[in-house]
Structure 1
Amino acid sequence: MLRREFLAVRNRLTADDVRAAGDALAGRALELPEVAQARTVAAYVSVGSEPGTLALLDALRECGARVLLPALLPDNDLDWGAYTGEGSLARVQHGGRMALFEPAGARLGPDAVTEADVVLLPGLAVDARGMRLGRGGGSYDRVLARLEHAGVRPALVVLLYDTEVVEHVPEEAHDRPVHVVVTPSGVRRFRGGA
């Protein structure tokens, strides 16, 4: 129910709203020292009314960062590939679900994310504790578990609209807090963050 409410608000945004938010997010994210200094960033390509990420992906590449993007596997886990510009993306339809933009090049394997200094996470909301509400598919829960199992601690950054930073979201035992939320109007760090 909560997911549907956040999605309903997003679906009322115009393409101009999404683009403006994406430009603002790119600027804010690049001001984070951990992002500005990252050698490898695991990111994602926004779809629909998600806060836009293309401006940030291109800015990261211009700063010399290696950018990894996910490719959804049949079991909802994520493989990874390199982003080398908008032309390196392929639109992939996953059954009856939404189409995603994924890297068209070679796959690097699910463990490639463990090389990232920063992991940009999609979400629908984050609360005052840094708990992230995702879409419910579990793909990024697997990513976070893989990072923990590998013993690596990249900065975990979620990109959201201002109204999606809320007081509380439900959590399950496997959920892990993020370190930072970036919105068009600012940045918020959470206790124990990077």
Structure 2
Amino acid sequence: MRITLLAARKAATPDARSAAAGRILAAVAELLDTVRPQRIASYVPVGSEPGRGLEKVLPAAMYPVLLPDRALDWAGGDLVAGQMRLLEPSGPRLGTSAIATADLVIVPALAVGLDGSRLGKGGGSYDRALTRVPPGVPIVAIVYDNELLPSVPAEPHDRPVTGVITPSGGFECLPRHPG
């Protein structure tokens, strides 16, 4: 499933990705107006991941720093080139537990099921980080339209998301019943 989803992302034209990014950023801005979070933890899109430009609508967010053990540290500040060829925040490191202080968490996903199950890339970094998020804090995944599916494989350690943003559907609370 991961291989198929990644291939579909790479096959999308730059124009299609750009149009999707604009609609996603508008949906994120609308979500912020509704939720009014004080502290946000968000991912930094890489490659063909949806959400290009999130830092424009989330300038004060905490962003992840991938540690050698694949855990996620968090920091704020401008995004700069990091050690692992990823953009990472330039501010002081806040520690792996800083995600627990967020009142909105925006995460990447390869796919999301209507029940809130999240399929990541398989490295486990976000699965481990999400265990630190207190119950009741919204966890929102951003995916392309074709990546919101009736179901996705889930393991016992996977933490579900409570919402999803797609280019065509905007923000939607989960779980949703198929049909």
TM-score for both structures, normalised by structure 2? 0.90
Q: How does 1:93-112 map to 2 (within 5 A)?
A: 93-94=83-84, 99-112=85-98
- 1:81 touches 1:106 (CA, 8 Å); kept in 2? yes
- 1:19 touches 1:52 (CA, 8 Å); kept in 2? no
SS at match of 1:32: helix
Unaligned ranges ≥5, structure 2 = none
Distance 1:152 1:53, change over 3 A: farther
Flag as ranges the 4+ runs of structure 1 deviating above 4 A: 33-36
1:136: which partner in 2?
122
Write the letter of the residue equivalent to 1:125. Answer: A
Write the letter of the residue equivalent to 1:130. Answer: G
For residue 93 of structure 1, report the CA deviation from its aligned partner.
4.6
Q: Does 1:25 align with 2:24?
A: yes
Match 1:158 to one of 116, 136, 141: 141
Offset from partner CA, 1:50-84 (integer Å, 9 cap, x none): 11332x322233xxxx300000001110001103x
SS at match of 1:67: coil
Give me the whole-angstrom Cα distance separating, in 2, the residues matched to 1:4 and 1:31: 32
- 2:39 touches 2:104 (CA, 8 Å); kept in 1? yes
Q: How does 1:4-153 map to 2 (within 5 A)?
A: 4-32=3-31, 36-54=35-53, 56-61=54-59, 66-83=60-77, 88-94=78-84, 99-147=85-133, 151-153=134-136
SS at match of 2:116: coil
Give me the whole-angstrom Cα distance separating, in 2, the residues matched to 1:105 and 1:33: 23
Write the letter of the residue equivalent to 2:55. Answer: L
Give me the whole-angstrom Cα distance separating, in 1, the residues matched to 2:93 and 2:126: 18
Q: CA RMSD in A?
A: 1.8
- 1:18 touches 1:52 (CA, 8 Å); kept in 2? no
SS at match of 1:76: coil
Q: How many residues align?
A: 175
Q: What is the identity percentage for the equivalent residue pairs of Structure 1 and Structure 2? A: 43
For residue 144 of structure 1, report the CA deviation from its aligned partner.
1.2
Write the letter of the residue equivalent to 1:25. Answer: I
Distance 1:143 1:46, change over 3 A: same
- 1:133 touches 1:170 (CA, 8 Å); kept in 2? yes
SS at match of 2:23: helix
Higher helix share: 1
TM-score for both structures, normalised by structure 1? 0.83
